[in-house]
Amino acid sequence: MAFHLNKSTEAFNEAKQYIPGGVNSPVRSFRGVGGTPPFIARAAGSRLYDIDSNQYIDYVGSWGPMILGHAHPAVVEALVQAVSNGTSYGAPTLLETTLAKLVQQAVPSMELIRMVNSGTEATMSVLRLARAYTKRSKIIKFIGCYHGHHDSLLVKAGSGAATLGVPDSPGVSAAVAGGTISVNYNDLAGLNEVFTQYGEEIAAVIIEPVAGNMGMVLPQEGYLAAVREITQRYGSLLIFDEVMTGFRVAYSGAQSVFGIKPDLTCLGKIIGGGLPVGAYGGRQDIMELISPAGPVYQAGTLSGNPLAMTAGITTLTLLSQTPGLYEKLAEKTKTLCAGIRAQGEKYGFTLQYHQLGAMFGMFFTDQPVYDYESAKQSDIGAFNTFFHEMLKQGVYMAPSQFEAGFMSAAHSEEDIAATIAASGYAFAKVAEY
Q: Is 141 an interacting residue with respect to ligand PMP (CB under 6 A)?
A: no
Chain centroid to CA 339: how far?
Answer: 24
Please tell me whether residue 120 binds ligand PMP under the rule CB under 6 A: yes
123 binds ligand PMP (CB under 6 A): yes
Q: Does residue number 303 form part of the binding site for ligand PMP (CB under 6 A)?
A: no
Catalytic option among 138, 156, 269, 332: 269
DSSP string computed for 313-364: HHHHHHHHHSTTHHHHHHHHHHHHHHHHHHHHHHTT---EEEEETTEEEEES
Q: Is 148 in the site for ligand PMP (CB under 6 A)?
A: yes
Residues 56, 59, 146, 280: which is the catalytic one? 146
Question: Per DSSP, which regions of 65-162 are E strands?
Answer: 112-116, 138-143
Please state, in angstroms and rounded to a whole number, the distance separating the CA atoms of residues 142 and 373.
12
Segment lying near ligand PMP (by CB under 6 A), choices 42-50, 76-84, 237-245, 282-290: 237-245
Q: Does 67 bind ligand PMP (CB under 6 A)?
A: no
Q: Is 146 in the site for ligand PMP (CB under 6 A)?
A: yes
- Interface with ligand PMP, residue 244, by CB under 6 A: yes
For residue 146, indicate whether it is catalytic.
yes
247 is a contact residue toward ligand PMP (CB under 6 A): no
Contact characters 89-118, ligand PMP, x per CB under 6 A: -----------------------------x
**Which residue sits closest to ligand PMP, CB atoms considered?**
119
Least spacing, CB of residue 117 vs ligand PMP, in Å: 8
Distance CA 198, CA 314 (A): 44
Residue among 69 and 148 whose Cβ is closer to ligand PMP: 148
CB of 265 to ligand PMP, least distance (A): 11
Task: Encode 172-205 in three state secondary structure.
Answer: CCHHHHCCEEEEECCCHHHHHHHHHHHHHHEEEE
Question: Does residue 243 belong to the site contacting ligand PMP (CB under 6 A)?
Answer: yes
Interface with ligand PMP, residue 224, by CB under 6 A: no
Please report how close the Cβ of residue 158 comes to ligand PMP at its closest, in angstroms: 9
212 binds ligand PMP (CB under 6 A): yes
Distance from C-alpha of 81 to C-alpha of 83, rounded to nearest angstrom:
6
Residue 155 C-alpha from the chain's centroid? 18
- Provide the minimum distance between the beta carbon of 308 and ligand PMP in the complex, in angstroms, as a whole number: 12
Residue choice 12, 56, 59, 63 for contact with ligand PMP (CB under 6 A): 63
Strand stretches in 39-101, DSSP E: 40-44, 47-50, 55-58
Which of 93, 129, 102 lies closest to 263 in space, CA to CA?
129
Q: Under 8 Å CB-to-CB from 56, ≥6 apart: which residues? A: 38, 47, 48, 49, 50, 391, 394, 395, 396
Per CB under 6 A, contacts with ligand PMP among 189-208 are 208
Q: Which is nearer to ligand PMP, 28 or 429 (CB)?
A: 28
Task: State the Cα–Cα distance between residues 230 and 299, nearest whole angstrom.
Answer: 32
Q: How far apart are CA 393 and CA 323, in angstroms?
A: 33
42 backbone dihedrals φ, ψ, rounded to 5°: -165, 170
Q: What angle do CA 36, 61, 327 make, to 5 degrees?
A: 145
Residue nearer to ligand PMP on the CB measure, 268 or 304: 268
Residues labelled catalytic: 146, 241, 269
Residues within the interface to ligand PMP (CB under 6 A): 63, 118-120, 123, 146-148, 159, 208, 212-213, 241, 243-244, 268, 278
